Amino acid sequence: MSVEEHAVRILSAVDRSMLEARHVIEAYFSRRPKLTAIRRAVTSLVFGTLRNYMLLDRAARALGVVGPTWGRRVVMFEAVFRDVPMSRVEEAASRLNVAGPIHEARSMDIEAVLPSNTVDRLSVKYSVPKWIVDYALRRLPEPVKFLESLNRRPPMWLRARVDPEKLARELEAYGVETCIDGELPHALRVIRGNPVRTPAFKEGKFYVMDKASQAAVYVLGDVERSLVLDVASAPGGKAIYAADLGAHVVGLDMSYRRLKEEEGLVSLYGADVDLAAADSRALPTRKLNAKLLVDPDCTSLGRIAHSPEIRLWVRPFHIRRLTKLQRELLRAAAERARSGTEIVYTTCTVTFEENEENARWASEELGLEHVEVDVGLRSHMGSRFYPHIHDTEGFYIAKFVKR
């Protein structure tokens, strides 16, 4: 089978299962070890096609082709965006049964197929749903740069588990250039090279973790010898970070699959984290003397660059549905917290409903007292990180104290 056929199988599986493309790719290649040599090529084709799928459909329609399929999109992506020989694209098209005006696709002016209306044009150009474009234009700073950032390869951040300067030097010896972040103590940004292929990774001296996620643990403050209750814990990046800082962490999560993944990471890193499967909306009634981390499911609009498949299924009603869950988790945390307890609330999204409005609700309805945090861009009752401003995921952090 060709690279294109593998890419189409993976894209169809992602579309059907609504699982993360990265997970589907991981599972696909771990079942087929003989294909390791083409994994990078397939991954890049999958991501490129996802990041441009609406534009590719529009271009195909302009050439008179109807009925979008992943096969058509993959072939169009190669014809329009890739410098691969036409003979290969034609062969892929014929194997995928999507033969058509491939030569015309290669020579077409892609800008010319864009609609003239601003929202429609930006939606097709960046292949994100219209409602996200509309939301960005109305509510986010530098909205076009934000939309552009969703289709860039996101920067890679590392969370050092050893002295960051020593780690940077060790990685450099393997051709990996990093830059130590001035704001957070354990964050390194990768400038060049693949750190995951170095012995330092295998020795557990760092793991990959976006700077904004690291900030969530940073704002928990001094956690040494404290109990941290992470009510939505899996797959565990924040829990393991807090444990590395000296906390004893109890991590709860409702997803068995994700908890299994966290269990693997906790044991790999030897972290002091106890895990349990639980619905954190129904925490035990006893009051807790712990720092609480509430990092619930969200619309994940800040993660579209990492997980381009999110754009396929995220809808406005998810904001309402998830806001309800987020508030239930915040309420349960607030009701179980002892007076003086700190609660950190975070999301990896950019909607005000899931962020500032929830923080305001927590202050007004739950009586939580808002505490300033000194990271990112100050926003109402918290801080924001933006991909186009901070080179991180889109993220929100609010901190409270229970009085």
Ligand X SMILES: C[S@@+](CC[C@H](N)C(=O)[O-])C[C@H]1O[C@@H](n2cnc3c(N)ncnc32)[C@H](O)[C@@H]1O
Catalytic residues: 348
Looking up tokens 């015309």 gives 104
Give the CA angle between residues 12, 13, 18 to the nearest 5°: 105
Q: Helix or strand or coil: residue 311?
A: helix
Q: Is the bond preceding 235 in cis, omega lying within 30 degrees of 0?
A: yes
Alpha-carbon distance of 14 to 29, in angstroms, equals: 14
User: Helices 53-62 and 39-51 meet at what angle, rounded to 10?
Assistant: 70
Sheet architecture: strand order including 177-180? 177-180, 187-192, 157-160, 206-208
Instruction: Name which of 195 and 235 has its Cβ closer to ligand X.
Output: 235
Alpha-carbon distance of 366 to 216, in angstroms, equals: 21
Instruction: Name which of 3 and 239 has its Cβ closer to ligand X.
Output: 239
Instruction: Name which of 232 and 305 has its Cβ closer to ligand X.
Output: 232
Instruction: Name which of 295 and 354 has its Cβ closer to ligand X.
Output: 295
Residue of this chain nearest to ligand X (CB atom): 232
Span interacting with ligand X, options 77-85, 164-172, 253-261, 377-385, rule CB under 6 A: 253-261
Binding-site member from 52, 123, 280, 351 for ligand X (CB under 6 A): 280
Instruction: Name which of 4 and 262 has its Cβ closer to ligand X.
Output: 262
Subset of 318-357 contacting ligand X (CB under 6 A): 325
Span interacting with ligand X, options 9-17, 148-156, 220-228, 252-260, rule CB under 6 A: 252-260
Whether the Cβ atoms of residue 11 and residue 46 lie closer than 8 Å to each other: yes
Q: What is the smallest separation between the CB atom of 186 and ligand X, expressed in angstroms?
A: 15
Instruction: Name which of 233 and 323 has its Cβ closer to ligand X.
Output: 233
Q: What is the smallest separation between the CB atom of 343 and ligand X, expressed in angstroms?
A: 14
Binding-site member from 2, 255, 363, 379 for ligand X (CB under 6 A): 255
Query: Kind of pairing, strands 273-277 and 206-208?
Result: unpaired
Does residue 123 belong to the site contacting ligand X (CB under 6 A)?
Answer: no
Binding-site member from 110, 254, 366, 401 for ligand X (CB under 6 A): 254
Binding-site member from 71, 296, 382, 387 for ligand X (CB under 6 A): 296
φ, ψ dihedrals at 153, nearest 5°: -65, 120
Span interacting with ligand X, options 5-13, 247-255, 360-368, 383-391, rule CB under 6 A: 247-255
Subset of 178-237 contacting ligand X (CB under 6 A): 232-237
Rg (CA), the chain: 22
Instruction: Name which of 7 and 212 has its Cβ closer to ligand X.
Output: 212
Does residue 238 belong to the site contacting ligand X (CB under 6 A)?
Answer: yes
Structure tokens at 47: 């991501």
Q: What is the smallest separation between the CB atom of 259 and ligand X, expressed in angstroms?
A: 8
Nearest to residue 294, comparing CAs of 352, 233, 204?
233
Span interacting with ligand X, options 6-14, 28-36, 51-59, 276-284, rule CB under 6 A: 276-284
Q: What is the smallest separation between the CB atom of 242 and ligand X, expressed in angstroms?
A: 10
Looking up tokens 């500032």 gives 356
Taken as a whole, the chain contains a residue count of 403
# residues near ligand X by CB under 6 A: 19
Q: What is the smallest separation between the CB atom of 234 and ligand X, expressed in angstroms?
A: 4
Whether the Cβ atoms of residue 253 and residue 293 lie closer than 8 Å to each other: no
Whether the Cβ atoms of residue 156 and residue 131 lie closer than 8 Å to each other: no
Which helix (H) or strand (E) element contains residue 398?
Answer: strand 395-402
Alpha-carbon distance of 240 to 224, in angstroms, equals: 13
φ, ψ dihedrals at 90, nearest 5°: -65, -40
Does residue 281 belong to the site contacting ligand X (CB under 6 A)?
Answer: yes
Binding-site member from 279, 335, 369, 374 for ligand X (CB under 6 A): 279
Does residue 252 belong to the site contacting ligand X (CB under 6 A)?
Answer: yes
Q: What is the smallest separation between the CB atom of 273 and ligand X, expressed in angstroms?
A: 11
Alpha-carbon distance of 230 to 280, in angstroms, equals: 9
Chain residues that interact with ligand X, rule: CB under 6 A: 232-238, 252-255, 258, 279-281, 295-297, 325
